[in-house]
Amino acid sequence: MADITRLDSGPRMSQAAIHNGMVYLAGQVGVAGESVAAQTKTILQRIDDLLARAGSDKSRILQATIWLDDMANFAEMNSVWDAWVDTSNPPARAAGESKLATPEYKVEIIIVAAQSA
């Protein structure tokens, strides 16, 4: 069985798990209470950082799952996402509405990516 590498592990979870050339990120959130755009920017920077540490980058993202506290925030989140995403290699993506950990969180993004060759 291939080894599993975990990044930023705590008693409940790891921020990333790497196995068999795949990178699985935990749901990333921004700073509670900030705007949807600010939270999305923070989340995408965290994703960039975790992927780099895992030997990957946004061009290698296979799937993104985006949770919003309110679908009314979809356009605001997308304005930041669209400026960040690798348009030559866009991932499969889903977005939906859900109650998040606290009402101050507006966005959570979960990523699955391939490691770089």
For every one of its 117 residues, what pLDDT tens digit does the chain have, with 9 covering 90 and above?
579 999 999 999 999 999 999 999 999 999 999 999 999 999 999 999 999 999 999 999 999 999 999 999 999 999 999 999 999 999 999 999 999 999 999 999 999 999 997
* C-alpha to C-alpha distances, 70 to 35, 82, 98, nearest whole angstrom: 13, 19, 7
Q: Looking at residue 117, what is its pLDDT?
A: 76
Q: Is the dihedral of CA 41, 44, 50, 54 positive or negative?
A: negative
Picking from 109, 107, 30, the residue whose alpha carbon sits closest to that of residue 70 is 107
Whole-prediction pTM value?
0.96
Q: How far apart are CA 87 and CA 55, in angstroms?
A: 20
Tokens at residue 58, please?
């946004």
Cβ neighbours for 101, distance < 8 A, ≥ 6 positions apart: 29, 108
Query: Tokens 């990957």 belong to which residue?
Result: 56
Q: Looking at residue 1, what is its pLDDT?
A: 53
